[in-house]
Amino acid sequence: MRTKTKKKVFILILIFALMGIPAFLVSNHFRNSVITELQLRSSAIAAVVEVLVS
């Protein structure tokens, strides 16, 4: 059960990352907010991981 949940979370994170790549490549306008975007994403991932661990 626990391994399945972790796999699902990993897949979700992968999907989020893949969704971010085209936007990054297509538009230079997003380039400035990429760092902010990554910070938001990593904090969201950290929150998910915290929930899983506890």
3-state secondary structure the chain: CHHHHHHHHHHHHHHHHHHHHHHHHHCHHHHHHHHHHHHHHHHHHHHHHHHHHC
Q: Where are the domains of the chain?
A: 2-53
Sequence-distant contacts of 47-53: CB under 8 A, at least 24 apart: 48/9, 48/13, 49/9, 52/5, 52/6, 52/9
pLDDT for the residue numbered 46: 87
For every one of its 54 residues, what pLDDT tens digit does the chain have, with 9 covering 90 and above? 567 888 888 887 787 777 766 665 666 665 667 767 778 888 888 888 888 887
At residue 23, the pLDDT reads 60
